[in-house]
Chain A
Amino acid sequence: EDQVTQSPEALRLQEGESSSLNCSYTVSGLRGLFWYRQDPGKGPEFLFTLYSAGEEKEKERLKATLTKKESFLHITAPKPEDSATYLCAVDLGNFNKFYFGSGTKLNVKP
């Protein structure tokens, strides 16, 4: 049973076209939800941690939000350099064991 589901699998945007990525989770006892960016051939790079429903975090053109069952990564006026795979992960409080979604591959065209 999938605990973390990301959608869409792939997203193509024109430069400047804002959109959102979704991460939904079907678990209880969420201790934290995390967003990462992964460039081809590299390890994931930490972006945000969200702990409770209603929380928001921002970094440049990215904003992450959290509800009781899902998180959104909003990308405002994206640029080609935002192209990457975005991963979300949850920590169920089981001593820092993280469960990752399969990611959304974002391609921003100039």
Chain B
Amino acid sequence: NAGVTQTPKFQVLKTGQSMTLQCAQDMNHNSMYWYRQDPGMGLRLIYYSASEGTTDKGEVPNGYNVSRLNKREFSLRLESAAPSQTSVYFCASIADSYEQYFGPGTRLTVT
């Protein structure tokens, strides 16, 4: 099992460009999450998906959109990147036992 995978690992964007961060899990989990992690601020929830076909906003959704493509995949889209979106982005899924599994992260820089 690969667990939770994320692509790309690194990305540099110019202000105003768009991109999609991809996430996939092979553990048959229902719920998936997108977080951002900034120095000194811990992890903040952007969006989550409780099950295939549903998505909901977290603490910091502005500037982002998500798609739960199927049970395995949950993507995060930045339509018009801003320097304030420079961060490390983590995708996660949660097991029935409440254990949350995280991907390796995408390091995004917006110049």
Contact = CB atoms under 8 A, between A and B. Distances in A.
Interface of A: 4, 32, 34, 36, 41-46, 49, 87, 89, 91, 95-103
Interface in B58-111: 58-59, 90, 92, 94, 97-105
Contacts of A103: 42
Nearest to B92: A43
B58 A49 contact: no
Interface of B: 4, 31, 33, 35, 40-45, 48, 50, 56, 58-59, 90, 92, 94, 97-105
Contacts of B40: 102
A99 B60 CA distance: 12
Contact of B43 (A32, A87, A91): A87
Contact of B98 (A49, A95, A101, A102): A49
Given A44-B90, A49-B97, A98-B45, 7 more contacts: A43-B4, A44-B100, A46-B100, A49-B98, A98-B100, A100-B44, A101-B42
Contact of B105 (A43, A91, A102): A43
Shortest Cβ-Cβ A-B pairs, 4 listed: A43-B102, A102-B42, A100-B42, A100-B43
